[in-house]
Structure 1
Amino acid sequence: MAARRIRVRGLVQGVGFRPHVWRLARALDIAGSVANDGEGVIIHVWGHPAALDSFQDRLRGEAPPLARIHTIETWPHDGPAPLGFTIAASAAGTVRTGIVPDAATCPACRAELFDPADRRQGYAFGNCTHCGPRLSIVSAIPYDRANTAMAAFPMCPDCAAEYANPADRRFHAQPTACPACGPRLWLEPAPDAGTDPLDAVAALLRVGGIVAVKGIGGFHLACDAANPHAVTELRRRKARDAKPFAMMARSVDEVGRYCQLDDTARALLLSPAAPIVLLPRWPDGPPLPDGLAPDQDHLGFMLPYTPVHHLLMARLHGPVVMTSGNRSDEPQVTTNEQARDRLAGLADAWLMHDRAILNRLDDSVVAATGGAPTILRRARGYAPAPLSLPPGFDGLPPTLAMGGELKATFCLLRQGQAILSQHIGDLENAAALDDYQAMVRLYRDLFDFTPEVIAVDAHPDYLSTTLGATLARECGARLVRVGHHHAHMAACLADAGIGLAKGGEGAFGLILDGLGLGIDGTLWGGEVLRGGYHGVTRAAHIAPVALPGGAAAMREPWRNLVAQLRHAFGDAWRHQAAPVLNQLPPDARVAVLERMLETGTNVPPCSSAGRLFDAVAAALGIHPMRIGHEAQAAMALEALARPHMASVRPYPVALGGGDSVVVGWLPLWEALLADLRAGEAPGLIAARFHMGFAEAVVAAAARQGAGAGSLVALSGGVMQNRIILDELQTRVRAMGGRPVTHQRVPANDGGLALGQAVLGALSTATGEGTGQPTS
């Protein structure tokens, strides 16, 4: 007999890992015990050495579906062998284990829903250790029922027996419940006596009604996706002019009727994360209202991921809109009281339940258009799963990174792992700001986390920056201000597994976004950086152009069009711009803007890639006066260009400057305006612009030494444009470089906190400054 003590770290609590250990031990005739504690799972085993070796191999190889093992450590162990193998009570200790993300209904629980012989048939809250709510219902560690929203529902004898049986898949499934003891579902206003609430909801949806549906992480507003009147009315009530609506379909096959699917997309739809997946529409697919996704050639679909959704969709014969339950730009509501108040006037009825949502979770969004998936919003199904960092990041001080102002997230970093929060939203919204502060407190409590370093964006006016500075004073942490675009680059490198040794100081970063504060105090947004984790230089950039009206230029693309044309052509811009003058407002407003440019009044210069896209979109008549949501014009421009990409030549650009190459757009605007005069198709012009933009950025990097063997990180919100991302990768490979892209976190500001955390921790550990870029 041999004896071993085995420590397993990772996401190994609340996922059926202890029963997995118990079953393996019994199958291999091994004695001992397994228990949860603050570091993960601790196992003591006695058996034949060969059996123990097999046991260790199978621990990882046959782990439960939601488990994520990060490390397995083994030591010799002393003491007499016990009789049999037992599951011991949880032990206290320093919290180092994680909370797994909420997971979509597993096949076994789904089968029970529709099995007339099962006691959970038709029950809207069935789950097991392989699926169901996790982060959305937890309030503290350890992850036991008493520390979840299920504490309000004592188990009945049948559920208690399953919970106590290691051979049952509901062994220690903290949210387990059944119709006799668990949460209940109801509809407001109440339907006729004897009518099932789900039957009543389905009937309402079929006649064009709008229903608020309480899910795992918040409320949705649902309507029939094939009913143009219902879709239009939902937009009117939400005051959501054009932002695409997500839809839910019964099955992958139903999604495939409307959109093109590959193996990657199918796997994403069916995964435990069950995100919204952006998919290209079939040109000749079944008709759906244009109002679902105006100006877009992609649709966002997800599959049912809770028993409530499965039971509802089984009563319908087509997809439904499932958009966040909120008024435009507000966070999703989570409580029944909020829903009755905030969704009054939006919903015709409310499908409620009495299991509390303790932590708001939006639906995650993933693009799956050729190649690897791209995460656009990381929330339900992914957060708060820790991200393993590349080699070289062990031993760094515990660091809290506060993220940015928009698409806010924050990040905890320690012991070679990063825990990125779920998407919270735009901190300019008071409710989102409150939620952000509550989530920072929750994560610190859940992970028993006291930061020694707090990393913030270099912009002094970001709310996340001011909150970070206050928190640093309160807990005595060192405050590190991190350059916005350096953080994007670091996030991309770390996300892709590029460590300190591999990243070196010779990497390049093509960082393209709306804007962020540069080290020279101006606004940046189209940058070629050179360096790595320990510092970068600005090797090249887009020529700075005025932002007329500051924030107003982010909402009104015509302002950027005037600024770009005036920058390119000077006082002759009106003569040159004859083909696009009809896209501008009355001359009086243009004249005011010109005076602002002449006097330098509220016209900060900015090398923004995003504003250039807005200007080109405005030139083509795409939402020139005002956009209804961020990147609306750029998204429409991308969709317009896509059919023409295979057969166009790029627009020319100008590369000038000395030590730092400056990309100028005069040749591009000359060619674009000539095409407009010649009557070229707008889609062809849009495609030539995309090609010219990608070629210019890569050429600027090449001018500064990028080439064979170079690592080139591609980050920033513009990387959500799949045409640009693909074209940049193609061109980087063509010059012998290696493109590095985001894999687990968004390229937009939703991933910013990861880069801040890495740079802030490194700068403190090495004493190499603030983590800001250096010129």
Structure 2
Amino acid sequence: MKGRRVTRRIEVFGRVQGVGFRPWVHRAATGLGLDGWVRNVDGHVELAAAGSPGALDELVLRLRGHPPPLAVVRRVRVTDFPGEETPAGSGFAVVPSRADPAAAPREIPPDAAVCDACLRELLDPHDRRHRHPFINCTDCGPRATIVEDLPYDRERTTMRRFPLCPACAAEYADPGDRRFHAEPLACPACGPRLAWDGLTGEEALRAAVEAVANGGIVAVKGLGGYQLVCDATDPAAVAALRQRKRRPAKPFAVMARDLDAVRRLAYVGRTEEAVLTSPQRPVVLLRARRAGTPVTPQVRPGTGRVGLFLPTTGLHHLLLRALDRPLVVTSGNRADEPIATDDTEARRVLGAVADGFLTHDRPVRARYDDSVVHVVRRDVLVLRRARGYAPAPLVLPVPAPLPLVGAGAQLKHAFALAEHGRAHLAAHTGDLADAATYDAFEASYAHLSRLTGIVPRVAAHDLHPGYLSTQWARAGPFERRVPVQHHHAHVAAVAAEHGLTGPFVGVAYDGLGVGDDGTLWGGEVLAADLTGYRRVGRFARAPLPGGEAAVRHPARMALGYLFGAEPLGAPPPAPWLTRPFTDRLDPHLTPLVRAVVERRVNCPPASSAGRLFDAAASLLGLGDTVSYEGQAAVALESAAGGLRAGALPWRLVRVDGLWVYDPSTTLTALLEGLVDGTPVPRLAAAFHTAVAEVTAALVERAVADGAPPTVCLGGGCFQNRRLLTDVRRLLRAQGLRVLTGRAVPVNDGGIGYGQAAVASALLAEDRKG
């Protein structure tokens, strides 16, 4: 008697397109003796499988528990499929994709670095893909940067311009091959070709290698746009890159050939090793070795950390092996501009920066910078979410009742598209400072909206009317707009990432954001949930002499604290303490700042933790002027190093129902330490300890007043490893649960996601009411 035979329809939702899922299903089903088919359906994968109930149950178990390496299975739906007649022994097939206009939001797979199997082929002289710069398979290669439409098939990617040769076509059609339905599939005979000033292929690569070896700067067309490459061991080359790129001090990322090369440059822990070699291949901030490293110090001025990453593509592997030295690999742009993606645009924008262009004929469909992470106590924390991570969706703990967009902030801009229980956080755009970056944002929004199928009806935005993202949201064709306070968005992003729907204490430390009272905030303790917040603590206010000029010139900020800090009972530092600081400044600056502070002319007050760090750095002689946001704070953290030091004095006072940190006592002690000859590193460490203790005390008072025992730490100041580590330790000692951003940046790169989480919760609450 024949065994019972059934047919089931299986739908798999998640990151299941562009990750080798259909070939994997084909192999699994064939191995289990099942008949049927599998296909892409817009944002998910659909199967009809026929066979014994036991074999079908086993297939579902494998789908849920053991998908291919790049896949993320979020849900599997199984239903009987009595109408599907699949004859026994007919086999299992991959069939053409089907569009479904009513499909849920679709996931776009991020790019993945070259896998080990492809790397072996790249380096094998007997393999037909030996030294093919664009090598890939179903487990690796470009995805988000080449997709033009969904369902994800070759004809809907930029690879449609490259017809497969017979050998590649055979691999593409062979279910037993690693490249079965690998959409970016190519080989030297049919794939993209390198080019350099009239040269192609290997000759083009050799010309680029020679240019870098001779101290030149080369613009290389990468996965998500152009990159600027030079010899990281050559001080003259790095100095030239800084001058031409207009980036005088911000550290450059360095690409190393392999893990052994990374270890020669920095200290690498097990978690850091795992993330360095992950398919995402982000830049990882590591503690730099002080001696014996060939990399010039000009790569990382003012910091003890170096951003290192491993080759992401076959082309990067070939460059690193040919040059056999670490390379600066940085964004192909000039300061504050978007990365160049179009070949003509690249030559126009980078013509005065690069000495040559190593390009190719595969278009870049979407702009993606390199992601940046660091590891803190074995936690991998994303600082810049881009290639390898974006635009993979994140969970929304309160599903969005209407499709919406979180427009993001101004700095480190990244918007978020949300519908139902998912939010797609777009790749890092940069600072929305000019028309070029704004155009890049609009292009990215249009592209991601079309791919995901999310057409927002609601826009959530910052309170700051001057942000280009706010202006975009207010001018757009939306049915409703939801203003979200900047620091509420910071802590809501942390809460949402960790699935919180109930109340929590939010600690938001950053540079500046408009508060709900119209003043500038930045050192805030909030009793909050996703729908709202109550301010329960803050830092004292100090004027920003000259407004934005104080952000670019920490010396102005220091003078603002010395001459105009919010009077909370502590006396200002005596003149004999401040004189050594003011005497080393431009003689015209001190009287000018004193005058504008006393007259309150263009001196907006701010309760900012970030600006306090700037002031402390300037007082310690670590930076009176900065060329990038956060530079002074980075120098302060670097000066503190690993020193442990008791806290500088601090005090809290009660003002209008809030607990307020008065830093005057702390800054006075800082100046006293300088006069007494205390080493700057010890004072920097003691300052960090003081801010950590202040934070713990503010939270302790909030909890004592009835706030919940869960704390979310958000805002750019918590990129500071020392501050984050000390604050977490002190709060956990109080028995509190402490959360911070992991997949979502704690800096302004997470604001769009936080806005989406708040707007979703508010819309859901409205529907209940």
**In structure 2, distance between residues paired with 1:766 and 1:353:** 51
**In structure 2, distance between residues paired with 1:219 and 1:440:** 20
Question: 1:589 maps to which residue?
Answer: 589
**In structure 2, distance between residues paired with 1:571 and 1:325:** 47
Query: Structure 1 6/71 Cα, relative in aligned 2: closer, same or farther at 3 Å?
Result: same
Does residue 302 of structure 2 align to residue 304 of structure 1? no
Q: How does 1:310-349 map to 2 (within 5 A)?
A: 310-349=317-356
Question: 2:602 maps to which residue?
Answer: 602
Q: How does 1:734-773 map to 2 (within 5 A)?
A: 734-767=733-766
- Among 9, 15, 21, the alignment partner of 1:17 is 21
Q: How does 1:73-472 map to 2 (within 5 A)?
A: 73-79=77-83, 80-82=85-87, 83-94=90-101, 95=103, 96-188=105-197, 190=199, 196-390=203-397, 393-394=398-399, 396-471=401-476
Does residue 614 of structure 2 align to residue 617 of structure 1? no
Q: Contact conserved, 1:565 with 1:573, CA < 8 A, in 2?
A: no
What is the CA-CA distance between 1:274 and the residue it aligns to?
0.5
Query: Structure 1 18/110 Cα, relative in aligned 2: closer, same or farther at 3 Å?
Result: same
Q: Secondary structure at the match of 1:643?
A: coil
Q: Which residue identity is paired with 2:762?
A: S
Question: 1:689 maps to which residue?
Answer: 687
Question: 1:667 maps to which residue?
Answer: 665
Q: Secondary structure at the match of 2:402?
A: coil
**In structure 1, distance between residues paired with 2:48 and 2:147:** 29
Q: Which residue identity is paired with 1:26?
A: T
**In structure 2, distance between residues paired with 1:453 and 1:422:** 20
Superimposed CA distance per residue, residues 79-101 of structure 1 (whole angstroms, 9 cap, x where no aligned partner): 43332222221111034331100
Q: Contact conserved, 1:248 with 1:304, CA < 8 A, in 2?
A: yes
Superimposed CA distance per residue, residues 582-637 of structure 1 (whole angstroms, 9 cap, x where no aligned partner): 34221x2221221211111111110011110110000011121x101111111011
Superimposed CA distance per residue, residues 192-222 of structure 1 (whole angstroms, 9 cap, x where no aligned partner): xx97222222222222121111111111111
Q: Contact conserved, 1:31 with 1:81, CA < 8 A, in 2?
A: yes
**In structure 1, distance between residues paired with 2:292 and 2:419:** 49
User: Sequence identity, in percent?
Assistant: 44
Does residue 635 of structure 2 align to residue 636 of structure 1? yes
What is the CA-CA distance between 1:534 and the residue it aligns to?
2.2
**In structure 2, distance between residues paired with 1:312 and 1:131:** 19
- Tell me which moved more, 568-577 or 726-735: 568-577
Q: Contact conserved, 1:9 with 1:97, CA < 8 A, in 2?
A: no
Does residue 35 of structure 2 align to residue 31 of structure 1? yes
- Among 491, 494, 497, the alignment partner of 1:492 is 494
**In structure 2, distance between residues paired with 1:16 and 1:666:** 59
Query: Structure 1 306/195 Cα, relative in aligned 2: closer, same or farther at 3 Å?
Result: closer
Q: Contact conserved, 1:189 with 1:349, CA < 8 A, in 2?
A: no
Q: Contact conserved, 1:101 with 1:384, CA < 8 A, in 2?
A: yes
Does residue 521 of structure 2 align to residue 517 of structure 1? no
Superimposed CA distance per residue, residues 124-157 of structure 1 (whole angstroms, 9 cap, x where no aligned partner): 1111111111111122222222222112111111
Question: 1:578 maps to which residue?
Answer: 579
**In structure 1, distance between residues paired with 2:274 and 2:675:** 47
**In structure 2, distance between residues paired with 1:654 and 1:710:** 21
Question: 1:679 maps to which residue?
Answer: 677
Superimposed CA distance per residue, residues 509-529 of structure 1 (whole angstroms, 9 cap, x where no aligned partner): 110000101011100000000
Q: Contact conserved, 1:389 with 1:497, CA < 8 A, in 2?
A: yes
Query: Structure 1 77/572 Cα, relative in aligned 2: closer, same or farther at 3 Å?
Result: closer
TM-score (norm 2): 0.95
Q: Contact conserved, 1:280 with 1:369, CA < 8 A, in 2?
A: no
**In structure 1, distance between residues paired with 2:302 and 2:484:** 37
What is the CA-CA distance between 1:287 and the residue it aligns to?
4.1
Q: How does 1:720-731 map to 2 (within 5 A)?
A: 720-731=719-730
Question: 1:542 maps to which residue?
Answer: 539
- Among 38, 47, 70, the alignment partner of 2:51 is 47
Question: 1:565 maps to which residue?
Answer: 562
Query: Structure 1 571/320 Cα, relative in aligned 2: closer, same or farther at 3 Å?
Result: closer
Superimposed CA distance per residue, residues 1-43 of structure 1 (whole angstroms, 9 cap, x where no aligned partner): 2322111001111111111111111111112211110240111
Q: Which residue identity is paired with 1:6?
A: I
Q: Contact conserved, 1:454 with 1:478, CA < 8 A, in 2?
A: yes
Superimposed CA distance per residue, residues 416-460 of structure 1 (whole angstroms, 9 cap, x where no aligned partner): 111000000111122110010111111111112122321111112
Q: Contact conserved, 2:562 with 2:573, CA < 8 A, in 1?
A: no
Question: 2:653 maps to which residue?
Answer: 655
**In structure 2, distance between residues paired with 1:590 and 1:190:** 58
Q: Which residue identity is paired with 2:121?
A: E
Q: Contact conserved, 1:409 with 1:423, CA < 8 A, in 2?
A: yes
Q: Which residue identity is paired with 1:143?
A: Y
**In structure 1, distance between residues paired with 2:573 and 2:285:** 43
Q: Contact conserved, 2:18 with 2:138, CA < 8 A, in 1?
A: yes
**In structure 2, distance between residues paired with 1:233 and 1:534:** 50
Q: Secondary structure at the match of 1:244?
A: coil
Gapped runs of 5+ residues in structure 1?
771-775
Q: Contact conserved, 1:453 with 1:764, CA < 8 A, in 2?
A: no
**In structure 2, distance between residues paired with 1:334 and 1:250:** 25
Question: 1:718 maps to which residue?
Answer: 717
Does residue 529 of structure 2 align to residue 532 of structure 1? yes
Q: Secondary structure at the match of 2:653?
A: strand
Q: Contact conserved, 2:645 with 2:689, CA < 8 A, in 1?
A: no
What is the CA-CA distance between 1:368 and the residue it aligns to?
2.1
**In structure 2, distance between residues paired with 1:700 and 1:124:** 55
Q: Secondary structure at the match of 1:487?
A: helix
- Tell me which moved more, 18-27 or 74-83: 74-83
**In structure 2, distance between residues paired with 1:123 and 1:75:** 44
Query: Structure 1 708/388 Cα, relative in aligned 2: closer, same or farther at 3 Å?
Result: closer
Q: Secondary structure at the match of 1:607?
A: strand
Gapped runs of 5+ residues in structure 2?
none
Query: Structure 1 112/195 Cα, relative in aligned 2: closer, same or farther at 3 Å?
Result: closer
Q: Contact conserved, 1:648 with 1:684, CA < 8 A, in 2?
A: no
What is the CA-CA distance between 1:289 and the residue it aligns to?
1.4
**In structure 1, distance between residues paired with 2:574 and 2:160:** 68
Q: Secondary structure at the match of 1:416?
A: strand
- Tell me which moved more, 304-313 or 80-89: 80-89
**In structure 2, distance between residues paired with 1:290 and 1:418:** 40
Report the count of equivalent residues: 755
Q: Contact conserved, 2:115 with 2:140, CA < 8 A, in 1?
A: yes
- Among 56, 59, 63, the alignment partner of 1:59 is 63
Q: Which residue identity is paired with 2:462?
A: D
- Among 550, 554, 558, the alignment partner of 1:553 is 550
Q: Contact conserved, 1:259 with 1:285, CA < 8 A, in 2?
A: no
**In structure 1, distance between residues paired with 2:456 and 2:651:** 47
